[in-house]
Structure 1
Amino acid sequence: MNKIKAGIIGGAGYTGGEMLRILVNHPNVEIAFVNSTSNAGNLISDVHTDLIGDTDLKFVSDVSQDIDVLFLCVGHGDAKKFLEANPIDASIKIIDLSQDFRLAHNAQLGTRNFIYGLPELNKVQIASAQNIANPGCFATCIQLGLLPLAAKGLIKAEVHINATTGSTGAGQSLSSTSHFSWRNNNLSIYKAFDHQHLGEIGESLLQLQPTLDQALNFIPQRGDFTRGILAAMYTESDLTLAEAQTIYEEYYSAHPFTHVSRKNIDLKQVVNTNKALVHVEKHGDQLLIISIIDNLLKGASGQAVQNMNLMFGLEETAGLRLKAGAF
């Protein structure tokens, strides 16, 4: 088959860089252009220096319509502005990595309707979709920990969630909490109980468990590492450990990137991969769920390519068999 022609908007940032690292080696994709207004004319490998020897492409300032799929690797609020200012042919599939179209009341822009792109929830819809709203990184990690329970209608008590993310989750723009001197050897809580990803998490859980009316108590943390998310969740449950393990293993049996481990898990098992690992434990009447992902891959660019594979009828894992560092 002919290769899929892909365009990237916002190619100089973290998610754009990860997109390039995947697509430059994807067997079914040709990168048609990489747009960056601040780096137009510069070699991609001058900005993403780990790509020296992998591509001779340069950033451009224009947008070509001679593509099959367009990835929007831009900041929150900027995807909608871009599409309003740059009409994209209706035949071109769009995968947006911002939060602009994730919630149901924001999923429509003109004639374009965006499907929420979590394959472990909406694989069938994604396969026939023209436009995808890629999930948030915290949202992905937390949902993968809770979806199997919601699918059985088994979230019967409030859920307590503590999740820590690496510094790349804040993007490349400098702020007082992203400087190395502040972040290194440091840990802090932010947006406790009102993180923006709670909206999409809630909508996904209600999709599976329409009667859900339990609180999600989410405490996000900034970690002093660069990439990865570990989420620890617990909720009161009358399931036995064996029952919980069976529910989780059966739910993810058809999903190639999400795996249930019966042993405790750690971030190095998933960093630099598109994998998610989930582990469950029972402590008295509390069910503990631990989930881990790489925030830039399964939490962003890797999942976007996974969605592209589904949309074009490719093997879901194409171009995404990436190895963790592990040590």
Structure 2
Amino acid sequence: MTNKIKAGIVGGTGYTGGELIRLLLNHPFVELAFATSRKDAGKKFYQLHADLIGETELCFSEQIQPCDVLFLCLPHKESKPWLEQNSVPIETKIIDLGNDFRLDGKFNDRDFVYGLLEINKEKIKKANAVANSGCFASAIQYALLPLANQQLLNQVFVTGITGSTGAGVKLQETTHFSWRNNNISAYKTLNHQHIDEIKLTLEQYNQSEVQVYFVPWRGDYPRGIFISATLPCTESLEKVYQIFEEFYKDEVFVCISKSPISVKQSVNTNKCILNIEKQGDMLVVHSAIDNLLKGASGQAIQNMNLMFGFEETTGLKLKPLAY
């Protein structure tokens, strides 16, 4: 029997922190040692994450404790300052769910590996630090990486919609019910923070510059991402499907459907579900993920599994919310 590793979470009160707690509590090879909170220390987990009632009596703490793996679930641009102010033993593996180390992974004696594991699996297995990929970045890269691998990308036009959990737990004008319900709006048009990490990965495979024009939308629902990437392509639809099936043939959480897909197929799972359509010389790749799982906490657990030699599906066999 595999010995359990100890896991800790820095910043456990947000949506991704809550999902991580849920997954770690149910992981057969992990003991969740602690989760920190700056303002809710002493409160039980289920006082902030109501779904955890009956699952644990653990409370949020102020300080970190010794652990084998540390998850950083801090707001963007706060992971690096936190590491500068707190000493983490080099033998403790770190998985950062923020965007601090996605473009430049070097930090003191650590070198963060970009955590899109379908392309960096062997590096992640040997890593002591991983920078989880962003939620929109993951959905878009899954849709385009097989084409980049065949040097078929030049200009790509992407539209994507995300649930309100993508904006974080802190109440904002564009996340409260009366604004978001029965409402859709664009935001950060052509200027989303994930574009740089998307281009960096795609261009490594495409071996030339890729122009990504991305318009994200706020959806009137809690969780899930659906993107559609449109680009010129002279290859037949059958050939494109072959390219995708070959690229993802060994990836258990990437599913390729020849039937139309919807976001609900992916919600509450660690799956990315892809569908491809073609009219004339224009190709459209649709991609659906759960922004809190495959786009954040689920992917972090999958990375942890690789780093510690567990089967990568361990603790991630989740049922979608089909209805």
Which TM-score applies when normalising by structure 2? Answer: 0.98
Counterpart of 2:17, as a letter, is: G
Q: Does structure 1 residue 230 correspond to structure 2 residue 226?
A: yes
Q: What SS class does the counterpart of residue 322 from structure 2 fall into? A: coil
Q: What SS class does the counterpart of residue 267 from structure 2 fall into? A: coil
How many angstroms apart in 2 are the aligned matches of 1:146 and 1:284?
A: 19
Whether the 8 Å CA contact 2:203–2:210 is kept in 1: the answer is no
| 1:14-53 alignment, distance < 5 Å | 14-53=15-54
In structure 1, what is the equivalent of residue 85 of structure 2? 85
Residue 180 of structure 1 and its aligned partner are, at CA, apart by 1.0
Whether the 8 Å CA contact 2:133–2:295 is kept in 1: the answer is yes
How many angstroms apart in 1 are the aligned matches of 2:309 and 2:40?
A: 33
In structure 2, what is the equivalent of residue 148 of structure 1? 146
1:219-247 Cα distance to aligned partner (Å, 9 max, x none): 01000010000000110001101000010
| 1:122-133 alignment, distance < 5 Å | 122-133=120-131
Q: Aligned to 2:156, which of 148, 154, 159?
A: 159
Q: Does structure 1 residue 61 correspond to structure 2 residue 62?
A: yes
Q: What SS class does the counterpart of residue 254 from structure 1 fall into? A: coil
How many angstroms apart in 2 are the aligned matches of 1:111 and 1:82?
A: 15
Whether the 8 Å CA contact 2:266–2:289 is kept in 1: the answer is yes
| 1:179-190 alignment, distance < 5 Å | 179-190=176-187
Counterpart of 1:168, as a letter, is: T
How many angstroms apart in 2 are the aligned matches of 1:70 and 1:226?
A: 27
How many angstroms apart in 1 are the aligned matches of 2:236 and 2:122?
A: 31
How many angstroms apart in 2 are the aligned matches of 1:49 and 1:8?
A: 18
Counterpart of 1:26, as a letter, is: H
Structure 1 gap ranges (5+): none
Residue 214 of structure 1 and its aligned partner are, at CA, apart by 3.3
Residue 18 of structure 1 and its aligned partner are, at CA, apart by 0.2
Q: Does structure 1 residue 280 correspond to structure 2 residue 276?
A: yes
Q: What SS class does the counterpart of residue 287 from structure 1 fall into? A: strand
In structure 2, what is the equivalent of residue 136 of structure 1? 134
Which TM-score applies when normalising by structure 1? Answer: 0.97
Counterpart of 2:147, as a letter, is: L
Q: What SS class does the counterpart of residue 164 from structure 1 fall into? A: strand
Counterpart of 2:270, as a letter, is: N
The alignment-based identity, stated in percent, is: 51
CA RMSD between the two structures:
0.8
Residue 44 of structure 1 and its aligned partner are, at CA, apart by 0.7
Q: Does structure 1 residue 194 correspond to structure 2 residue 195?
A: no
Residue 38 of structure 1 and its aligned partner are, at CA, apart by 1.1
Q: Does structure 1 residue 94 correspond to structure 2 residue 94?
A: yes
In structure 2, what is the equivalent of residue 178 of structure 1? 175
How many angstroms apart in 2 are the aligned matches of 1:283 and 1:127?
A: 41
1:63-87 Cα distance to aligned partner (Å, 9 max, x none): 11x2100000110111111101101
1:261-315 Cα distance to aligned partner (Å, 9 max, x none): 0111001101011001011111110011000000000000000000000111100
Q: Does structure 1 residue 207 correspond to structure 2 residue 204?
A: yes
Q: What SS class does the counterpart of residue 56 from structure 1 fall into? A: coil
Q: Does structure 1 residue 292 correspond to structure 2 residue 288?
A: yes
Flag as ranges the 4+ runs of structure 1 deviating above 4 A.
Answer: none
Counterpart of 2:132, as a letter, is: N
Q: What SS class does the counterpart of residue 263 from structure 1 fall into? A: coil
Whether the 8 Å CA contact 2:202–2:210 is kept in 1: the answer is no
Counterpart of 2:142, as a letter, is: L
How many angstroms apart in 1 are the aligned matches of 2:106 and 2:67?
A: 22
Aligned residues: 322
Q: What SS class does the counterpart of residue 229 from structure 2 fall into? A: strand
In structure 2, what is the equivalent of residue 8 of structure 1? 9
How many angstroms apart in 2 are the aligned matches of 1:178 and 1:44?
A: 23
Counterpart of 2:85, as a letter, is: A
Whether the 8 Å CA contact 2:199–2:210 is kept in 1: the answer is no
Whether the 8 Å CA contact 2:266–2:290 is kept in 1: the answer is yes
Q: Does structure 1 residue 247 correspond to structure 2 residue 218?
A: no
1:55-112 Cα distance to aligned partner (Å, 9 max, x none): 1111110111x21000001101111111011010000000000001000xx3111111
Whether the 8 Å CA contact 2:95–2:131 is kept in 1: the answer is yes
How many angstroms apart in 1 are the aligned matches of 2:229 and 2:206?
A: 18
In structure 1, what is the equivalent of residue 76 of structure 2? 76
How many angstroms apart in 2 are the aligned matches of 1:196 and 1:166?
A: 17
